[in-house]
Each structure stands twice: as structure tokens, then as C-alpha cells.
Amino acid sequence: MPTDRFLKGMNAVHRALLKVTGGRVGYAAGDMPVVELTTVGRRTGEPRSVLLTAPVTEADTLVVVASRGGDDRHPAWFLNLRAEPAVRVSVRGGPERPMRAEIVGPEERPELWARIAGRYRNYAGYQRRTDREIPLVRLIPT
């Protein structure tokens, strides 16, 4: 499974690609927008940012997947927003907006997961790699 160092390295490479290309490359992955999610570190209280894809967009609401590549551990950003759901989000390099993170509940998750995993097979593969249920997080403008 991916190490923290590897994931941070991938994020750094992604940020460098955005910078080098002036944002012409890297703000989309397939047809998914890339968003920058900024959470508050649950231990440090400091802002922590990560680039993620949003496989579902419904009006101004986004859904992100806490897959961590199919690891058995939740990603740090998920643990942070679970502790403090007030987040900031920038879509495709646009201005940051305040949002509230809401973990999708068991009544909604099956249908939403089927939509995501059916369209983006990598997420289905991540779920097969782990015994944990991969959380879905709705980002709602405040």
C-alpha cells in the first residue's frame, strides 16, 4: 500500500505539474475535476492541503472518495475533516470557498458508490484491496 511519503511525493509532483504548465495540465483527471481540499490538522491545528479528484459534482456540491489507494488506513485528510468538518475547497485552481464536509451515510452510500465505481473502475479496485468500507465525503458550500 502507498506510504505517507509516497502520497506526499505524488501530491508534490502534481503541484509541480500545475505550476510548470500554468494550470493547463493537472486540473482534470479524465473527466473528473481536481480539487484542492484544505482541512485543519487534527493534531496541529494547522491548515493541510491535498489535491483530490471529485468523481461526482451536483450543482455546487462535490463528492470525494477517501480511498488512499485501497490502503487499510483512512487518509489523513479524511481524519482531519472528520474531526473538523469546516474545510476550504478550490476547484480546478479557482478561488477557495468555505465548505462543510459531510460523510455520506449508510442509507445513501450504496447508490452513490455504485455510480462512482461503475464509472471509475479504479475506485472499485481500491475497494477490493481493503476490508474497510471506503468513505465518501460530500463537500457542501457554506
Summarize pLDDT for 22-74 with one digit per residue, the tens.
555 555 557 778 899 999 999 999 999 998 989 999 999 999 999 988 889 99
The arithmetic mean of pLDDT across residues 132-138, rounded, is: 97
Write down the pLDDT at residue 91.
87
Q: How is the chain split into domains, by residue range? A: 4-141
Write down the pLDDT at residue 78.
98
Distances (CA, A) of 93 to 8, 64, 79, 81: 19, 16, 24, 21
**More reliable by pLDDT, 92 or 25:** 92
Q: Which residues of 64-80 are buried (b: 16+ CB within 10 A; e: fewer)?
A: bbbbbebbeeebbbbeb
pLDDT band at residue 132 using 50, 70 and 90 as cut-offs: very high
The span from the CA of 68 to the CA of 43, in Å, is 20
Which class would CATH give 4-141?
A: mainly beta
Write down the pLDDT at residue 6.
63
C-alpha cell at 116: 462512482
C-alpha cell at 78: 479524511
For residue 93, give every residue at least 6 positions away whose Cβ sits within 8 Å of its Cβ, in sequence order, or none.
Answer: 18, 23, 27, 36
Total Cβ atoms within 10 A of residue 25: 10
Distances (CA, A) of 78 to 16, 31, 90, 95, 139: 23, 23, 17, 22, 12
Q: What is the mean pLDDT of the chain?
A: 86
